Structure formats: C-alpha cells, structure tokens
Structure 1
Amino acid sequence: PSHLIEHVYLGCQSQAESLRMLRKYNITHVLNCAGYKGPRPEPHASPYGDIGIEYLEFQADDYEDYDITQHFAEAFQYLDQAKRQRGNVLVHCALGINRSAATCLAYIMQHQRKTLFEATRLIKRKRKVALTNRGFQVQLVKFAKSIGLLDK
C-alpha cells in the first residue's frame, strides 16, 4: 500500500486480504470503499472477525455518474477516529485507483488544508495510477471549491 499521510494508507482489495501485509504496516482499521464481496455471517459484519482490526465499508460504484462525495462525511469521521486511537487505516477499493483514492484525496484536502493540486500531487507521487475516473475528478474540483481549497 501507499503511505499517504501519518495514519492513512491507500491500497487495494488483495492487500486488505493479506494478514501479513496488515500486520507489517500496523493496520488497525480498514475502510473498504467498494463494499465487501466475500462470504460473511451477516450483512456488514467485519471480514476480520475478532483479530483486532476495526472495519467500515460503503458500497460505491466506480463510474462517472456515481456521487462519491456522499460517502465523505462517514469516511472522514472513521479516519479521524482511527487517528484519535493512534491507529493506521488502510483505505481501499478493488484496485486502489478511484473510489479509495478520491476519498483519501478529499480527506487530505479537508483535514490537512491542502489545495486540490497539492493533495493530488501527493497522491500521484505515491500512487501513479490513481484518480482516472473523470466524474470523480469533477466532483473533487467542486468539493475543493466548496471548502476554499481549489487554489491558494
């Protein structure tokens, strides 16, 4: 996974499924931006059972007309909670390219007060193949403008 800021890592589904990788990076929380597809005893139950990793998911779709911003408030609250608990969060979707990257970028803007350009540059430096969904790009521009971070 790509280490973006102090407690936030951006990755993909296969990394979220690797207990070895989660332990290597001291991941204490997982935010799944694509919804869990595997078997589990009840809907929204953590795929991590009782191994000490907290889990939150939302079911976002990776297509241009999907409103990714509807998930930002819940995701930001979860990321802040992990930070308060001195944990590390793996934010992922299927490939770690669009849904999770857009969520991380918005979080970095809002909580580190980085402009859209600065936050995008940070993510692209760490994960070159990120943020290819044009619809999400437009939504992130609008989000940045709404919080006064479109430009300095």
Structure 2
Amino acid sequence: MAYLTPWRSETCEDMLHRGSTSRLDYINYVHEDNRHTLNSISELGPLTKTPEADEISQYLKEMRKILEAYPRYGTPPEPTLIVENLYLGTTSNADNLALLRRHKIKFLLNCAGIPIVRPDREMRHYKNPSSPVVEYEELNTETGESYDISDHFMKGHQFIDHARNRGRVLVFCPDINCSGAICISYLIRKGHCLLQATKMVKHARNAALFNKGFMRHLIVFARDRGMLERSFSHLGAVQFEGLMKVEERPSKSHILVIR
C-alpha cells in the first residue's frame, strides 16, 4: 500500500520542508494517500456477520448483564460453596491452612499455576505435615482476552470430579477470571445451561468473571453441548432472590439446588 512506501512520504516531507510545495498540497497528498489505503482495504470485501457470530454476541450480552449486575465488586472473605464439595475462593484462602482446615477442604485446584513455582506451592500445601490438603493441582493458564481458556476445561473438570468424590475441593486463582470460568464450565458440563451456571457463580461470589474472551469460550462450550438457553425473557439479570435455595440434607452438607 502507498503509505508503506518510504520514498513517497520522504519525498513529500522534503518538498514541504524545502518550501517547494504548500502545506495545503501536502495535506491533500496525505488525504489522497489515505483514500488509496481505504480503497485497498475495501477490496477485501465487506465484513459479513454469520448466524453463529450473532448468537455468540447475543449470549455475550446476556452474560455481561448477569456478571456486571450489582454487586459486581468485592468477593466474600471465605470460600463459597457452589455445589456439593466444590468451593470457589481466592489465593489467600488457599494459603490459609487454618481456614482450609475449618472448611474441611482437602483438595486445591490452582487455575493460574506457574510451573516454576509449583514445587514451592506443593511443599506449602499438601507436603506440609500441618496442612489438611492431600492433593494439589494446577492449570497453567493466561489471563489475556485472546487466550483460549477452554483448553483447560477437561483437565480442570477431571480434577474437580476426582476431588469431589473424595472430599471438598477449593478452586482458586489470583484474580477471578480463570477460576470463575472453570467453575462455570464445570456447571455446564454437569447439566446446567450457560446463563443458569453463570448466575450460580455470580450469586455466590458477587464478582465472578470479567474477561469477555473467556465468556465467548464458555458460550461456544455450552453451545457445543446443547446447553444454551432457548429464551432469555425469564432470566432477570439482577434478580437473584428465589433463583436458588440451600437445602439441608441428612448428611448436613449444603447443596445448592435449582427450583
């Protein structure tokens, strides 16, 4: 394209500095050059919307209504029960051995692991004689919006299933996005529709997920499993009362169930 040709712009600027062309001519030249660039781009053809793109855009809008509803900042100080034996919390929760012992949490899933520091975390957690943790796992994720978090769904789900069959598991990360996405995807895997799963995590944590790229991956994940709601009309984005109830079972474990 013309604006990438060095000698053209240099020649024009030289002419302007030498006074052999007027500033108006220079401006007209630049505008003409920009028109040439725009014409070149237009030759690529119009950007077309596909039904799939429209669907993702629509569900993204609905997810954001839920996730950005008040209260949207500030997570609870302690881990929150999402479903039986599955807790969602923070890195500071995971580092608090007394808290883990109090909640009887024996498994940890770090959704933002760093391989180089994994030995230190393992030593601090389940290799520490005073720790209640018996098993620790990491997902080596990234937090950019272009990052495909769905690459880690299967490993995360397998560990959560493994842990829940043996006790309580805490899913956590330094921020909220990776752990929030893993928990929402797990609920989808277990039979909850996308927006319902999103509401469950939002209701539990206030701030659950802000990464729009991760939301898109969750939409695709749910769509591929037939877990997208057919209608949004009955799902009030900010109405959480009555969505769930805590039901007492004989085992005294708290289970979140959908009415």
TM-score (norm 2): 0.54
Residue 62 of structure 2 corresponds to which residue in structure 1? none
Q: How many residues align?
A: 148
For 1:73 and 1:4, how far apart are their aligned partners in 2?
19
Whose Rg is larger? 2
1:2 corresponding residue in structure 2: 80
Match of 1:127 among 194, 199, 205: 205
Q: Match of 2:124? A: 47
Question: What's the counterpart of residue 225 of structure 2?
Answer: 147
Matched with 1:20 is: 98
CA RMSD of aligned residues (A): 2.0
Structure 2 stretches lacking a partner, 5+ long: 1-78, 231-259
The answer as to whether partners of 1:44 and 1:57 remain within 8 angstroms in 2 is no
Counterpart amino acid of 1:119? A
Query: Which is bigger in relative contact order (C-alpha 8 A, separation at least 6)?
Result: 1
Structure 1 gaps of 5+ residues are: none
Which runs of structure 2 are paired with 1:3-152 in the superposition (5 Å)? 3-36=81-114, 42=119, 45-48=122-125, 49-50=127-128, 51-53=131-133, 54-85=135-166, 87-95=167-175, 97-111=176-190, 113-152=191-230
**Match of 1:82, as an amino acid?**
A
Q: Percent identity?
A: 37
Q: Matches of 1:11 and 1:44 in 2, distance apart?
A: 17
User: Which structure dedicates a bigger proportion of its chain to helix?
Assistant: 2
- Partner amino acid, structure 2, of 1:88: R
